[in-house]
Amino acid sequence: MTLTHFDAQGQAWMVDVGGKQATHRRAIAQGSIRLSPAAFEALHRPGDASPKGDVLGVARIAAIQGAKQTSNLIPLCHPLPLTHLSVEFRLDEANHRLTIETCAETVGKTGVEMEALTAASVGLLTVYDMLKAIDKGMEIESIALLRKEGGKSGTWERG
């Protein structure tokens, strides 16, 4: 398999998607952050326990903004008009872990995997930023693509 972001001489380039069909594309990504008990407790009491306010509300907005800025952050990504982006959080009390799941959608000539992954990353980084006064030892873990749909390659799902 050849890498698509390099030309025949090995120079980096933006992939030419001009001849591709615009199709509905969707990508789902996930990641998690492991927190101390005190930081995890701050997620349950927005505004009360966190020095910066509603952690999950701000992280949701940050994830959406991150997805919209993907082409500014990743050098060879095409700017995409997102038609939808959802952000969901799951709290795992037993393990003091927060999981974020993002779903990006567009109708276009290239996929939205990078937008979904960027949204998950920025959302988790925002949680870290907002809770670092309580816990500097938080660990962001397992950011991964779970599923992508659309385009020539069709559907792919993490096994």
Catalytic residues: 129
Structure tokens at 51: 């020095």
Q: Are the beta carbons of 38 and 134 closer than 8 angstroms?
A: yes
3-class SS letters over the chain: CCCCCECCCCCECCCCCCCCCCEEEEEEEEEEEECCHHHHHHHHCCCCCCCCCCHHHHHHHHHHHHHHCHHHHCCCCCCCCCCEEEEEEEEEHHHCEEEEEEEEEEEECCCCHHHHHHHHHHHHHHHHHHHCCCCCCCEEEEEEEEEEECCCCCCEECC
